[in-house]
Amino acid sequence: MKKIILLFVAGLLTYSVCAQDTISKPKMLLRPFVENGANFIRNDNLKRVYNTQSMYFFGAGLRFGHPDFQNYIPYAQYTYSSFERISPDSLVVENHKLKIQQISVGLDFPVYKFKNLQLRMQVGGDIGMIQESSYTIDDYSAGFHAGIGLDKKLISHSRIYARFSYNYQKTIDTYIHDFDVMKLAIGVVI
């Protein structure tokens, strides 16, 4: 089943790339994107345990439409972030690990347009999986995100962007509920 879904998505992406017309509107159905950046941890307990303010993340997703021809662009994204801290003690070596995986869906829309540069806002919902070793957390989180950023046109219909957002996410049945992060992301949309 996974192979069929992957072949279907690959077929849609191939169709989208081949359907480009340089004179008229792009006919892309799905526009893949990748991004990376830093998640700035908001919880003081996590900052203390991991002795850090931030952790690296990587994300990939699909946008449905083009910002030159549509105002509201729906998107879906998967992000992965992890951080590990090994703290050697005199007798015991402790290994602390925090892993956050999220699926986000939302809307991306323009706030202000320049020539090849756009100020865009992004809002949406998140469902995540939080795994944390020092507090023995292995639970789902739910929340939302809102952000603002700049998109710049690159070659043909591709774009590069930088975005700052706040990600509100809470778990229910865990000792620590607050896994909010501020996110600084840089990415490319094909």
**Domains, the chain, ordered by start:** 2-189 (2.40.160.20)
| 3-state per-residue secondary structure call for the chain | CHHHHHHHHHHHHHHHHHCCCCCCCCCCCCEEEEEEEEEEECCHHHHHHHCCCEEEEEEEEEECCCCCCCCCEEEEEEEEEEEEEEEECCCCEEEEEEEEEEEEEEEEEEEEECCCEEEEEEEEEEEEEEEECCCCEEEEEEEEEEEEEEEEECCCCCEEEEEEEEEEEEECCCCCCECCEEEEEEEEEC
Q: Show pLDDT as tens, one digit a residue, over the chain (190 residues).
A: 555 555 555 555 554 555 444 445 555 568 999 999 999 999 888 888 888 899 999 999 999 988 777 889 999 999 999 988 876 665 665 678 889 999 999 999 999 988 889 999 999 999 999 898 877 888 889 999 999 999 998 887 889 999 999 999 988 777 777 889 999 999 999 8
Strand partners, 182: 40, 166
**Prediction pTM value:** 0.78
pLDDT at 4: 56
Answer whether 152's CB lies under 8 Å from 160's CB.
Answer: yes
Q: Which two tokens stand for residue 9?
A: 């998505």
**What's the alpha-carbon Rg for the chain, to the nearest Å?**
19
How far CA 105 is from CA of 12, 133, 170, in Å, comes to 19, 28, 17
Answer whether 181's CB lies under 8 Å from 50's CB.
Answer: no
pLDDT at 134: 78
pLDDT at 22: 47
Phi then psi dihedrals of residue 91, to 5 deg: -115, -35
Q: Which two tokens stand for residue 91?
A: 């007798």
How far is the C-alpha of 61 from the C-alpha of 75, rounded, in Å?
7
Answer whether 105's CB lies under 8 Å from 74's CB.
Answer: yes
